[in-house]
């Protein structure tokens, strides 16, 4: 079974600074998807960024980028120029494809210091 | 922008009662999911649904749970006899397959279920 590990329960960063959230996963598959979801206090799950395992290029979405290391099974999220609105729980997730459900990590609570 | 909608936003029920949580997935999506998040914990997969049948389910999804797509738009989760430990946020999600693989799941805003 796949597992997703987020080793940082909480991270704090100054506004406008850069922060990196860690995620590792375990799978025997060669093709899969990885995601970062944001959960603000409203508790809705919002997709931040996704990465297809077959793509070597790291995904980027504006201030958000990932460092995908397939051999190391590592998938970290970098948030540049942190903003107060980035404060939320961030969940790393894995999907094996098809009708597979997402396997989530336990989340990292990101605090933005003004 | 199309979105997944869930009703109600909050449901309070007596232990032992049946509840039905409702979801309207994005219209052209083909995969449908239910997830659960107990307060302060991670999001857990319950079940996926494709082509009018269950594709995959977790060990959490036992006989007290069932899902249905009664018409072309709604997707429901029924909990037959609720227990206190069923209190959680329940998220519906849908996705559209790309190259036969999954794309990102779009989540609804959740239904907070409180069993008293």
Within 8 A of B103 by CB-CB distance, chain A residues are 33, 50
Tell me which residue in B43, B93, B103 faces A91 most closely, judged by beta carbons.
B43
Instruction: Compute the residue count for chain A.
Output: 114
pLDDT at B89: 96
Mean pLDDT of B21-38: 94
Mean pLDDT of B48-68: 94
Task: Name the more confident of A69 and B1.
Answer: A69
Counting one residue from chain A and one from chain B, the pairs whose CB atoms sit within 8 A come to: 73
Q: pLDDT category, A74, cuts 50, 70, 90?
A: very high
pLDDT, one tens digit per residue, over A19-63 is 999 999 999 988 899 999 999 988 889 999 999 998 889 999 999
pLDDT at A101: 87
Q: What are phi and psi of B84, to 5 degrees?
A: -55, -40
Count of CB atoms situated within 10 Å of the CB of A38: 21
pLDDT at A64: 98
C-alpha closest to that of B46 among B103, B101, B93: B93
Task: Give how far A52 is from chain B: nearest CA, Å.
Answer: 9
Within 8 A of A108 by CB-CB distance, chain B residues are none
Does position B115 have pLDDT exceeding 90, yes or no?
yes
The residues that bridge with B19 in the sheet, in sequence order, are B79
Chain B nearest-CA residue for A50: B104
Chain A nearest-CA residue for B58: A101
Mean pLDDT of A74-80: 98
The pLDDT mean for chain A works out to 94
The CA–CA distances, whole Å, from B2 to A86, B107, B108 equal 23, 11, 11
- Chain B contact probe: residue of A99, A105, A107, A108 with most B CBs at under 10 A: A99
Tell me which residue in A31, A33, A102 faces B45 most closely, judged by beta carbons.
A102
Does position B100 have pLDDT exceeding 70, yes or no?
no
Cβ contact A84:A112 at 8 Å? yes
Mean pLDDT of B4-23: 96
């Amino acid at each position: 079974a796949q597992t997703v590990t987020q080793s940082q329960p909480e991270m704090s960063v100054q506004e406008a600074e850069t922060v990196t959230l860690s995620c590792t996963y375990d799978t025997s598959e060669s093709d899969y998807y990885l995601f970062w979801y944001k959960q603000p206090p409203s508790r809705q799950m919002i997709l931040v960024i996704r990465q297809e395992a077959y793509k070597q290029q790291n995904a980027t979405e504006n201030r958000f980028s990932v460092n995908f290391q397939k051999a190391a099974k590592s998938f970290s999220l970098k948030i540049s120029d942190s903003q107060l609105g980035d404060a939320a729980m961030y969940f790393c997730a894995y999907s094996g494809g098809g009708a597979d459900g997402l396997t989530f990590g336990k989340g990292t609570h990101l605090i933005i210091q003004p | 922008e199309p979105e997944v909608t869930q009703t109600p936003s909050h449901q309070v029920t007596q232990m032992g009662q049946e509840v039905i949580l409702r979801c309207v997935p994005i219209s052209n999506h083909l995969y449908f999911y239910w997830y659960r998040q107990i307060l302060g914990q991670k999001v857990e997969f319950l079940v996926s649904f494709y082509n009018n049948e269950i594709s995959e389910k977790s060990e959490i999804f036992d006989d007290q749970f069932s899902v249905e797509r009664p018409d072309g738009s709604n997707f429901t989760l029924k909990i037959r006899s609720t227990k206190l430990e069923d209190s959680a946020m329940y998220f519906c999600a849908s996705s559209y397959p790309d190259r036969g693989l999954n794309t990102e799941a779009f989540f609804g805003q959740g239904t907070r279920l409180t069993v008293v």
